[in-house]
Structure 1
Amino acid sequence: MPADETSSAPFLPQLIAQSFALLMDDLVQHLVDSGYDDLRPTHCLNVFRFMDCGGTRPTTLARRAGMTPQAMGELVGYLERHDYVRRVPDATDGRGRVVVYADRGTQAAEVATKYFADLESRWVDALGNDRLADVKSALAQIAGGACDADNGVDGAGGARGRAGTSKAPAS
């Protein structure tokens, strides 16, 4: 490819960021349209996508989201007041508390999970199964360096045992 063509083509990280922004905008709009109009993008981006299925300490959520514990406490407090999450005693350490999904949060997670399945079906229609499988495989390989227990990201770019892989808004 000539040098002038490469300078106008976006870099892969830019395309990934743009795709993620579109996905998040569409997800939040879908949740709003489905009756969850009190959710904001920051709830999906900074709380739901970092929650473990068995519950997550607020300080862990803050670290994963790159936020202060105080800022995370405000987000969790808002979500708790709107019945998306609850804070319950940590079963592994009775002195601490973990954030878990409340009924409304579980329902929103189911809406999000269906949205992601429908989105992937649309991508199969647009790209074909083989091309989409190649994209997923390539992104999983790229994300492979991020596979550690601390951030909980698996090789598929999803949350390992957390939101996004089954019943929680992955955001």
Structure 2
Amino acid sequence: MPADDTSSTPFLPQLIAQAFALLMDDLVQHLVDSGYDDLRPTHCLNVFRFMDCDGTRPTTLARRAGMTPQAMGELVNYLERHDYVRRVPDPTDGRGRVVVYADRGTEAAEVATKYFADLESRWVSAVGKGRLAEVKSALAQIVGGACDGAVGSNGPDRAGSSKASAS
């Protein structure tokens, strides 16, 4: 009977988490190297990743990130002071405010988008175009199946945008 070497192979969630950690570390370093040295991993992980293109209420950002509204408020305040985001009146309800990208935030998102394209090219070089396409297709199918009936493409109440995904 052949030896079972699956005991030495990490579980898929572990591999995904490790790949995500590498991706985020490299992204933050790329942003720092590109002149965005006042951004921290928490800004990418907990704010930009959950922002919608047309703006997102801070309480919604907090819920999506699994944070308290007060903690999210501190992150948004920091990003606003550094010209990455602005708070503007909510177009659907003038009593509220939404967080939108400011010019510097849009520029950082564009740098991140280019980084992701370059990263994908490096991964194609490492594993081949066909294998990477299979991984992307399988993950899209898994995510799509996990999100049946959910709002957006990032899971329950995690509606996202291409810009949100880029940062």
TM exceeds 0.5? yes
Residue segments in structure 2 that go unaligned for 5+ positions in a row:
none
Q: State the aligned residue count.
A: 162
1:72 maps to amino acid: M
CA displacement, residues 130-165 of structure 1 (integer Å, 9 cap, x when unaligned):
11110000111111213521xx3259xxx8651xx2
The answer on whether the counterparts of 1:54 and 1:100 sit within 8 Å (CA) in structure 2 is yes
CA displacement, residues 108-128 of structure 1 (integer Å, 9 cap, x when unaligned):
000000000111111112211
Instruction: Please give the alpha-carbon distance, in whole angstroms, between the structure 1 residues aligned to 2:101 and 2:6.
Output: 46
1:53 maps to amino acid: C
Aligned-pair distance for 1:39? 0.2
1:170 maps to amino acid: A
Instruction: Please give the alpha-carbon distance, in whole angstroms, between the structure 1 residues aligned to 2:111 and 2:6.
Output: 40
Match of 1:41?
41
Match of 1:2?
3
Residue segments in structure 1 that go unaligned for 5+ positions in a row:
none
Match of 2:166?
170
- Residues 124 and 18 from structure 1, CA distance in 2 versus in 1: closer, same or farther, beyond 3 angstroms? same
Which TM-score applies when normalising by structure 1?
A: 0.89
Question: Where do 1:47-86 residues align within 5 Å?
Answer: 47-86=47-86
1:146 maps to amino acid: C
Aligned-pair distance for 1:7? 1.9
RMSD: 1.7
Identical aligned pairs, as a percentage? Answer: 83
Match of 1:114?
114
The answer on whether the counterparts of 2:49 and 2:160 sit within 8 Å (CA) in structure 1 is no
1:133 maps to amino acid: A
CA displacement, residues 2-32 of structure 1 (integer Å, 9 cap, x when unaligned):
34x2222100000000000000000000000
Instruction: Please give the alpha-carbon distance, in whole angstroms, between the structure 1 residues aligned to 2:165 and 2:64.
Output: 16
- Residues 15 and 25 from structure 1, CA distance in 2 versus in 1: closer, same or farther, beyond 3 angstroms? same
4+ runs deviating over 3 angstroms = none
